[in-house]
Structure 1
Amino acid sequence: MLELARYDGRRRFKGSVYLSIGLALLAALIVWIFPSFRDAMDMDELLAAYPEPVLQVMGIRTMATLEGFLAVELYVFGWIILLGLYLAYSTAGVIADDVDRGRMDVLLSLPISRARVVGEKFVAMAVPIVLVNILTPIVVYVGAPLIDESISGTDLLAVHLFSIPYLFACAGIGLLASVIFNRASIAQRVALGVTFALFLVESLLDGTDYEAIGAVAPMRYFDPNEILLESTYDVGDAAVLVGMTLLLLLASQLWFRRCDIS
């Protein structure tokens, strides 16, 4: 069982390790520059100078503390935006690339259902999603005392655990694009565009009469600020993300079972 998942997972392992190291280095850089950033300027004046839409899009509440600085610079920008887009883009190629290159016919000639192909290729995305959440929290937790700061290990662990269902939901967007479009390049561009559009919709419509539209965006259900600044863990939001992921997976399996890949 899970032969395809193990095969795809092994293929993704090396690249995922490099991605994890890169994000850990980014985290180390952000922790290292925080004291200089904090001492060089008045944080309240800095935030007052930002246009309100920028504060809303980036989810900035405060940058005067290490937790607030990390929430904006690392977790909103690095996890919600960059990693969310990366997972959507990368997953958008798992089916479409094989169809595009003519490999899917060979795979489906084996005694394996289309639904299983989609499911196992999606399961393999757990490799980058899990690996990126292992090294970075260690770097942040160890680095904080080196700059005479402290950070809650529980909150830090929580923000990474709660990011996992968020990243799977973004990967689910890419998976659906991968089965709808037979060309990998188109599927990847669509996945990027949809994911970023959802981020903008959720950010810009929050607090307006149209904020209900943002309920379809995974970004609504993962807020690093609440976890790091308020120690608030919303298990209900994580459950919504899990449900969203399962719905996207099921829709992808149903679509792929009915589509023509010739």
Structure 2
Amino acid sequence: MLELSRYDGRHRLTGSVYLSIAMSLLAVVVIWIYPSFSGSFEDVDEEFLQAYPEGVIQLFDIRTMASLEGFLAFELYIFGWTILLGLYLAYLAAGTVASDVERGRMDILLSMPISRARMVAEKFASLAVPIVVVNVITPLVIYAAAALIDEPISAADLAAVHLLSIPYLFACAGIGLVASVVVDRTSIAQRIALGITFGLFMLESLLSGTEYEAIGAIAPMRYFDPNEILLDGTYDLVGAGVLVAVTVGLLVVAQLWFSRTDID
């Protein structure tokens, strides 16, 4: 059982460790520079934010820079986690099926006693390796680094933001998976996945607070809010459930599409 998932997962492990190191280094840099600015933020936080263009404040949902949690929410979690990591998972997922089709390996895989639907599911499941590894290693580094600069961060909130990012990242990966079965050229599937994922982020950010805000409900980003977790200590479990449902829906769509697709 799960032979394809184990095989692909093993091959993703090294890259997942490198990804975790990269995100951890980004987190350390953000935490390291925070003390240089924290004194200024405490006195002029509102004036400092007013210096940013309104579009930037809305796009990145910047609420405060006067605390390490607020600084991390903006510099690391909105930009690094929601945008960069979400795009990376969509990009990675877009190559799961399309690359095998493009390189002629899919015929070999389908000659095995395994259904197309199961093959797609196992390919998708292997993405749990980078998603879990980066969400285990990075928070440990963040917690230790925050303690070193004498700005302790809530372990519960830190754990929550990473746990709740897992369904968000799987939803982004689901977008890439659908692109991977719809298009059999890897580079095109990856560009489509990146475009859709980033487009959804822009849609949610720019429509927030407008009369068209309801349209943004289709974006996974609506259901993962690092500010809400780190600053308010509020955990949106309903939003996490929505992301799980979205991921399952995207997986089913990918399975149905691939089951009915002719492979040349």
Q: TM-score range by the shorter chain?
A: over 0.9
**Alpha-carbon distance, 1:52 to partner:** 1.1
Q: What residue number does 1:113 align with?
A: 115
**Alpha-carbon distance, 1:147 to partner:** 1.4
Identify which range, 140-149 or 52-61, moves more after superposition.
Answer: 140-149
**Alpha-carbon distance, 1:112 to partner:** 1.0
**Alpha-carbon distance, 1:40 to partner:** 5.1
CA distance in 2, matches of 1:111, 1:95: 17
Q: What residue number does 1:214 align with?
A: 216
CA distance in 1, matches of 2:97, 2:213: 33
Give the 5 Å matches for 1:61-140: 61-140=63-142
Aligned residues: 262
Query: Which contiguous aligned blocks of 4+ residues in structure 1 show a shift greater than 6 angstroms?
Result: none
Report the 3-state secondary structure (helix = DSSP H, G, I; strand = E; otherwise coil) of the residue aligned with 2:27.
helix
Give the 5 Å matches for 1:7-26: 7-26=7-26
CA distance in 2, matches of 1:203, 1:254: 31
CA distance in 2, matches of 1:176, 1:86: 15
CA distance in 2, matches of 1:139, 1:241: 26
CA distance in 2, matches of 1:170, 1:187: 14
Gaps of 5+ in 1: none
Q: What residue number does 2:164 align with?
A: 162
Q: What residue number does 1:252 align with?
A: 254
RMSD: 0.9
**Alpha-carbon distance, 1:145 to partner:** 2.2
CA distance in 1, matches of 2:110, 2:146: 51
**What amino acid is aligned across from residue 125 of structure 1 in structure 2?**
L
**Alpha-carbon distance, 1:51 to partner:** 1.1
**Alpha-carbon distance, 1:251 to partner:** 0.2
**Alpha-carbon distance, 1:38 to partner:** 2.1
CA distance in 2, matches of 1:40, 1:68: 14
**Alpha-carbon distance, 1:93 to partner:** 0.3
Q: What residue number does 1:31 align with?
A: 31
**Alpha-carbon distance, 1:260 to partner:** 1.2
CA distance in 1, matches of 2:82, 2:147: 26
- Describe the superposition over 1:205-235 as per-residue Cα deviations: whole angstroms up to 9, x where unpaired: 0111111111110000000000000000111
CA distance in 1, matches of 2:48, 2:38: 10
Report the 3-state secondary structure (helix = DSSP H, G, I; strand = E; otherwise coil) of the residue aligned with 1:98.
helix
CA distance in 2, matches of 1:208, 1:245: 27
Scaled by the length of structure 1, what TM-score is found? 0.98
Report the 3-state secondary structure (helix = DSSP H, G, I; strand = E; otherwise coil) of the residue aligned with 1:182.
coil
**What amino acid is aligned across from residue 71 of structure 1 in structure 2?**
A
**What amino acid is aligned across from residue 230 of structure 1 in structure 2?**
D
Gaps of 5+ in 2: none
Scaled by the length of structure 2, what TM-score is found? 0.97
**What amino acid is aligned across from residue 109 of structure 1 in structure 2?**
S
CA distance in 2, matches of 1:234, 1:22: 28
Q: What residue number does 2:61 align with?
A: 59
CA distance in 1, matches of 2:148, 2:254: 47
CA distance in 1, matches of 2:9, 2:147: 35
**What amino acid is aligned across from residue 254 of structure 1 in structure 2?**
L
Report the 3-state secondary structure (helix = DSSP H, G, I; strand = E; otherwise coil) of the residue aligned with 2:71.
helix
Q: What residue number does 1:229 align with?
A: 231
Report the 3-state secondary structure (helix = DSSP H, G, I; strand = E; otherwise coil) of the residue aligned with 1:61.
coil
- Describe the superposition over 1:134-175 as per-residue Cα deviations: whole angstroms up to 9, x where unpaired: 111111111112212121110000000000000000000000
